[in-house]
Amino acid sequence: MRTGNIKPLCVRMTYECKICSGRFTVNLPDGQFRMPKRCGADDDCENKSHFEILEGAKTTKLIDCRRMRMQDIQHNDVSTYNVFFTIFIKIFPHFASQNSS
Ligand SMILES: [Zn+2]
């Protein structure tokens, strides 16, 4: 199995707005990282492109498929687990069939 090209999945990313300094979190249900289209911290903020990525924030959730163990997932909240599992099955369909019991 080649896993070298698999990047960590980002299911929730935290950003800091460089204009208003507000922090906000964006859910990424498909696990694909992207920058926000506008500031999510303040409705009046005009910022659309200047954001700091807070990878290490508590509210950020990254999943590294190569190191993930099923045990780790079960301690997380149910919604994240469901999202992860949907993505996981797409990447490793053979794994799902082996462990379907
Ligand atoms: Zn802002």
* 28 in any annotated domain: yes
Three-state SS at 52: strand
CA of residue 96 to ligand 1 center, whole Å: 42
* 71 in any annotated domain: yes
CA of residue 77 to ligand 1 center, whole Å: 28
Domain span at residue 23 reads: 9-98
* 2 in any annotated domain: no
CA of residue 60 to ligand 1 center, whole Å: 18
CA of residue 59 to ligand 1 center, whole Å: 18
CA of residue 56 to ligand 1 center, whole Å: 20
Mean pLDDT of 77-92: 67
Number of domains in the chain: 1
* 1 in any annotated domain: no
Q: What is the pLDDT of residues 1-43, one digit of tens each?
A: 454 555 678 889 999 999 999 999 999 888 888 899 999 999 9
Backbone angles phi, psi at 94, to 5 degrees: -70, -30
The separation between CA 13 and the C-alpha centre of its own chain, rounded to angstroms, equals 6
Whole-prediction pTM value? 0.59
